[in-house]
Structure 1
Amino acid sequence: MSDGVGGEVDLTDPVLASEAELAFEGALRPRSLSEFVGQTRVRGQLQLLLTAATIQQRTPDHILLAGPPGLGKTTLAMIVAHESGRPLRMSSGPAIQHAGDLAAILSSLVPGEVLFIDEIHRMARSAEEMLYLAMEDFRIDIMVGKGAGATSVPLDLSPFTLVGATTRAGLLPNPLRDRFGFTAHLEFYDDAELAQVLARAATLLGLDIDRDAIVEISGRCRGTPRIANRLLRRVRDYALVHTGRADLATVNAALDLYDVDALGLDRLDRAVMQIILTRFGGGPVGLNTLAVSVGEESETIEAVVEPFLVRIGLITRTPRGRVATSAAWRHFGLSHGDTALPIDDL
């Protein structure tokens, strides 16, 4: 098998196979805006922002990337650093739980460095308040001492660009959100864009795959490049074990094995839909009742399952609960009043 970067990899050697997989992961991420597929409007806006900063010989404005998981926020942060010719420092909101954690990061930045904070809405409130002054004036105030003798010592910072990523922009406090010079809202990909992502990944993976097989995968990955690449790798595994190449029949067999149906629904999605359709007659069903019925946390249903089901029109949210649409009844081949399908059959 080709390693996708100019050589053959001995898959019987676990070390070489693991290194090839890591090399593939690194090569999979585009290195420039011109290589990045999709998000046309955001790419144009970022290109203008970065080019203007280069002409003026200054650090680019702070950037907030908002959107669902898997759409390329981390990749865009890497591209911002690469196209600016600046080093990149990466952290995450959950890792910054005290103002001191943020102060240590900010004080060690070199001039012009790009600081990427993933899930920035999960940062501690004390760190958020410190970040206000750092973003605006490139300085922070350090408290020295305790009690009545405590004093505030200002510490100047090197100019930097903050790139924040969030899946829940509404949880960011307004003072923090307003300090970003540019906010990009990433949208789900259409099937044609996902086909481009898959074709590029297949080339890097050294996978011989038919065009109609790529089209089939693109229709099942929920508009998300991360899911598209994950499904492609499962198809690769199935082809490696069974058929040797990835045609349409191989794709269908592989995705059926991994419980991904024609709309991209996985087992949990179908379990939720089956509960609504057959146990509650199409709804309405409350969130907590639904979560208990499928044995999952209500947060998982609300944050992971429900947005996709609403987006593709299988359920609607009402004040009384979740209700299945006519499209849901058709997709599962049921009519109102059917209650005989066990979950394991879906």
Structure 2
Amino acid sequence: MSDNEPDLYERGVVSPEAGADDRALDGALRPRMLEDFVGQDRVREQLSLVLRGAQSRGRAPDHVLMSGGPGLGKTTLAMIIANELGAPLRITSGPAIERSGDLAAVLSTLQEGEVLFLDEIHRMARPAEEMLYVAMEDFRVDVVVGKGPGATAIPLDIAPFTLVGATTRAGLLPAPLRDRFGFTAHVDFYRPEDLETIVRRSAGLLGVDLAPDAAQEVARRSRGTPRIANRLLRRVRDYAEVRGDGTLDRATARAALSLYEVDELGLDRLDRAVLDALLRRFRGGPVGLSTLAVSVGEEPETVEVVAEPFLVRAGFMARTPRGRVATPRAWEHMGLTPPDGAAG
């Protein structure tokens, strides 16, 4: 994370970004094969065809690009691709590729058929991006030796590999790079029933006796994101062990999530603060982003990147050319009556 980006971890339990605890447990909770992956039915079926077709031809499958929000399973799918192919997996990220030489060092050491997972591919340096074009198409990199007029480009063949790129901002990828992926998948937010299945599976792996109604409660407040669902499950487990008798039923789940300020629809303190300011102080809008952020004591980037995506997707807020506007659902959820002439 660069110095000028907002700290997305400050959201706590409903941040879709991976914290240290998430990374420590993700390996134990991730499914290993496609048949064990819950949700994303269309993507799973399409990916299965791509992999099976490549295996039947004895060739490396097409390069795969996955887009979607954080915490939706892009890294898990990359690991599943490698497992399904029986191939090694190399993991790196766009911010780690600062120069074309960094990419050349990675590509030149790949084994034949290896899967290279490049997370946050949209943040890769432009010179490395141009080198990647040739590597993806011709399995070759041009290594420049020397500087100035005497510089010489030496072509270096690399082993055929499969690139799996992941991005949360597909619009930032240049068209030439997108066009070189043979299969593109958009990983969407999960249905409540799929999240409930994920929560029950994770509870079993963690050795937690979770009641069905508690699993439903956790899934309902997980904002459509498996990473958040697993994090809420761990917080409910902690509450049951410390404050209760170890029983994980609906009442325990509700008490635990109330303690962590996650309401019935998954809104947390920042979400409610933004809505409260928009409704009470600005009569539902329209109001500019900077003004709204100042009113809740946050940076504009934090409100725009951290709070707004869920509020817009859940139907509480709309972005208009004149500014942010509250919807009728926001007034209803906050228990307020719109004044005459209120926006929305």
Matches of 2:326 and 2:150, distance apart in 1: 63
For residue 292 of structure 2, the aligned residue among 290, 315, 321 is: 290
Question: Which residue of structure 2 aligns with residue 112 of structure 1?
Answer: 113
| Alignment check: 8 A CA contact 1:222 1:264 kept | yes
Question: Which residue of structure 1 aligns with residue 3 of structure 2?
Answer: none
Q: Secondary structure at the match of 2:134?
A: helix
Question: Which residue of structure 2 aligns with residue 196 of structure 1?
Answer: 197
Give yes or no for the alignment of 1:250 onto 2:257. no
1:86-235 matched pairs, under 5 angstroms: 86-235=87-236
Give yes or no for the alignment of 1:278 onto 2:280. yes
In structure 2, what residue type is equivalent to 1:252?
Answer: R
Matches of 1:283 and 1:315, distance apart in 2: 10
Q: Secondary structure at the match of 2:33?
A: coil
Q: Secondary structure at the match of 1:34?
A: helix
For residue 316 of structure 2, the aligned residue among 314, 317, 329 is: 314
| Alignment check: 8 A CA contact 1:202 1:208 kept | yes
- Of structures 1 and 2, the one with the larger relative CO (CA 8 A, separation 6+) is 2
Post-superposition CA distance 1:214-253 (Å, at most 9, x none) = 1111111100000000000000000011221111111111
- Cα RMSD for the two superposed structures: 1.5
| Alignment check: 8 A CA contact 1:115 1:162 kept | yes
Q: How far off is 1:124 after superposition?
A: 0.5
Q: TM-score, normalised by structure 2?
A: 0.90
Question: Which residue of structure 1 aligns with residue 15 of structure 2?
Answer: none
Q: How far off is 1:169 after superposition?
A: 0.4
Unpaired segments of 5 or more residues in structure 1?
1-19, 339-346
Matches of 1:289 and 1:125, distance apart in 2: 35
Unpaired segments of 5 or more residues in structure 2?
1-20
Q: How far off is 1:288 after superposition?
A: 1.2
In structure 2, what residue type is equivalent to 1:53?
Answer: A
Matches of 2:280 and 2:83, distance apart in 1: 52
Matches of 1:27 and 1:223, distance apart in 2: 21
Q: How far off is 1:289 after superposition?
A: 1.1
Q: Secondary structure at the match of 2:70?
A: coil
Question: Which residue of structure 1 aligns with residue 74 of structure 2?
Answer: 73
Summarize the Cα distance change of 1:72–1:308 in structure 2 as closer, same or farther, 3 Å threshold: same
Q: How far off is 1:189 after superposition?
A: 0.5
State how many pairs are aligned. 319
Q: TM-score, normalised by structure 1?
A: 0.90
| Alignment check: 8 A CA contact 2:22 2:231 kept | no
| Alignment check: 8 A CA contact 1:65 1:183 kept | yes
Matches of 1:80 and 1:296, distance apart in 2: 40
In structure 2, what residue type is equivalent to 1:85?
Answer: G
| Alignment check: 8 A CA contact 2:222 2:229 kept | yes
Summarize the Cα distance change of 1:133–1:32 in structure 2 as closer, same or farther, 3 Å threshold: same
| Alignment check: 8 A CA contact 1:114 1:161 kept | yes
In structure 2, what residue type is equivalent to 1:81?
Answer: A
Matches of 1:304 and 1:193, distance apart in 2: 24
Matches of 2:22 and 2:159, distance apart in 1: 37
For residue 302 of structure 1, the aligned residue among 275, 296, 304 is: 304
State, as a whole percentage, how many aligned pairs show the same letter. Answer: 67
Q: How far off is 1:21 after superposition?
A: 9.6
Q: Could you list the runs of 4 or more consecutive aligned residues of structure 1 that deviate by over 4 angstroms after TM superposition?
A: 20-24
